[in-house]
Structure formats: structure tokens, C-alpha cells
Structure 1
Amino acid sequence: MTAPTVLLADDHAAIRAGLRIILEAQGIVVVGEAADGDVAVRNAVALRPDVVLMDLRMPGRDGVSATREIVERGVSEVLVLTSFDEDDLVFGAIRAGAVGFLLKTADAATLTQAVRSVAAGDGALDPRVTRRALAAVAQSAPEPLRAGHPHPELTLREREVLDGIAQGWSNAQLAERLSISVPTVKTHVSSVLAKLGARSRSHAAALSRHPQR
């Protein structure tokens, strides 16, 4: 299996160095670094890594704007590293198309698994980040939506898949728990994203309870 390739985007050189040591020790290839959003976009376009590990607060262009352009260009998947005080930026990154979110306090094993999961086409959602993102959606939703809103456009199976996405399950976990094949899961996930108008699994997870877009 080919090792995942990663671009590190963080304005602190010491953090980038620490991330590089952790990831390379696990066989993940770090192909480049960036200290701000503009460089992150340029390097992502030039190097086309499997995953951009993205900080949200950087000087100049922030990580949300950089994420949006990287996703729109279709060059890489974006895995966000966030702090507890960045709820506004987290939801902005969800809307921008980031497919994974981890707290900066995540241990080496969690970080490595998240990178591999995102590189393989799955999401990576820290449950604590997911809860905060859902709360942000609820807070900004119109009053009728705060009482809950079904998704009549989804089939029963698609709702089961959406529930699994909201719990952070990978395609393999969904396949096992729903007793269907991984290709079938991928088909359902694509259908769920299309019907919800979601840009990523993380966006779908945020919309799972409050269908505001």
C-alpha cells in the first residue's frame, strides 16, 4: 500500500516539526510545509498531497479560506487541527469542505489514524468537535428547525448511513454495522451528500440534526 502524502500548514515552525516527526515515524510522507494560507494553497496545488493538515488561525490568509480554495480546486483532502476556542472557524471549515477535524491535543496514534483515514477517502471527526459543530448549527438555525427536522428526501438506508457518518464511522465500519459492502456504502454516502447539499462527510454530520445549509 502506498504511503499517504501530507502537507503541513501551521504558522508555528515547532508545531510543524513535531507533526513531521510523528507522521514520518509512522511511515507517512510529509511532502511540504506552509506557514500561512496563501503558501498552503500554492504548495497544495504544486505538490498535490493526499491530505493537507490545516491549522485554522494563521497570519494573512486563514485556514478556512485556504481550505475552500484547495477543496474547490480538487487537489487534496483537508484535515483540520483545531483548538477548543475556534468554534466559529470550525463551522466555517465544514462549509468550506474540510473532511476531518481533530483537536490539537490529539495523541500520535489518533493523528496518524486520522491522516490515513482521510487519505483513504473516509472522514475523521473527533466526537468533541462534532458536538460543538452541531451546537453551532443549532444556534444559527431558524427557530422552527431547532425543534428538529426530518430528512424525508433520504431513504431509510441513507438515514442509517447519515447516522453513522454523524458518529464518525468510516466506510468499513458502516459496511460492517449495516451488513452491506463498502462499495454500497460509498454509493449511499455519495447519495446522502448530494441530497443534503453537503460538501463533505463532516458537513453532512453537522446537517444531520439541523438541515440548515
Structure 2
Amino acid sequence: MASMDRSGDVLHAGLAVVLLLGVWSVGGLEVSTGKVSSIEAMNGSTVLIPCTYSSCIGIKDLFFNWHYNDNGTMLKLCEGEIPMEGVEPRGLSVYHERVEFVGSSKGNNISILLWNITFEDQGEYICFARNPKEKNRNHSATFTLIVVDELREIDSSLTVVIVSVLGGVFGLVIFLMVVKGLVVNFLLDGGDKNKECLVNSGNDNTENGLSGAKADTKGTPKA
């Protein structure tokens, strides 16, 4: 009995740990740079480098910062702290002359702008956040900036091929639908004609039969 009780206690403890881990993974802090994690931008332009945070548990004194990966050396761009939901960052510090913080706590946004970019600005930008409310759980996301002389033109030939193929498919479908409609109408018309032929044939036979019957029933004329 004692061994069974111990087994039950171990099972209950295991279930509790699993449930706690599940809650932690579902409600844990996450930061994201969006569905597109890289962008090509013209030399000399201004670029928005996006980042948002989320936590189902909520935040308190959320710490965040941005770093630029300069060939393995992490250069700090800015940092700040958000006291609670809906409150703007405090203690905001920017360490790069062409970086501007444009985030807002109302949208869980901690994005930055990078002004007048150069080829030296190309590389990875890391958004980091830490939430003391979740026992200092932290998370980071990376956004890649590619600087070019001119933006690449979309290959129109591929677009033309795709449109042509789709047009051919739609044309074939429409053609098949028209042929199907014609065949169905032909079959229906043929069926109606057959019915008419059968009815007419039946009427003729009936009339012939009746007239023949009448002829047969006539008596032999008396002399």
C-alpha cells in the first residue's frame, strides 16, 4: 500500500509539473520582428526596424534593448524600461546618433527608426526583452537589413508566364463547361423527341386498331 501511495504522489507531482510548464510556455514573454524578418533598403533611406512584445501573464518593469551585430561585436543602440501595460517607457537611452525610438506601450511596440542608412549599417539587429513578472524570462528576435544601390526590379517574364498558364486553365474550364452544357441540352432535346415519337406512334396504332376493329365488327351487307 505504501508503494502505491508513493506512485500516486509521484504521478500527481508529474502532472502538476506538466501543467505548470504548459502555462509557462503558453503565457511566456515573446518578442517578434513580424512575419518578414529581413528587408532590402536603398542606401541613404530611412528604415523602420520593427519589434513587438507579448505576454499573456502581463508585464512589470519590462526591460528592453536593441543591439547591432557588427561582425560578432554587439553594439548597443538603445534601451529602456516599461513599468506596466499602457505606460510609456522610462529611462529611455539612445546610443546611436541616427537611431530614433518610435515604439509605444499602447501597441506593445518597441520599434526603432534608422536614419540615412549606409552600407555599414547592413547586418543583424537584435531586439531583446526581459520580464521580471515572469521570473526574468527573456526573449529576443533578429531583423536583417540589406542595403543596396537600387531596388531589384520584379521579373515580369515570370509574371507573364504565370498569368498565361492561369488564363489557359480558366479558358479550358470554361470551354469544358460550354461543351457539357451543349451535350446536356442535346440529350434533353433528343429525349423529348423520342418521347414525342413514342406518343405519336402510340396514337397512330390506337387509331389504326380502332378503325380496324370497327371494320371487323361491321356485318356482312345483306343482299
- Shorter chain as denominator, the TM-score bin is under 0.3
Higher normalized strand content (fraction of residues): 2
Higher normalized helix content (fraction of residues): 1
| Higher RCO (C-alpha 8 Å, min separation 6) | 2
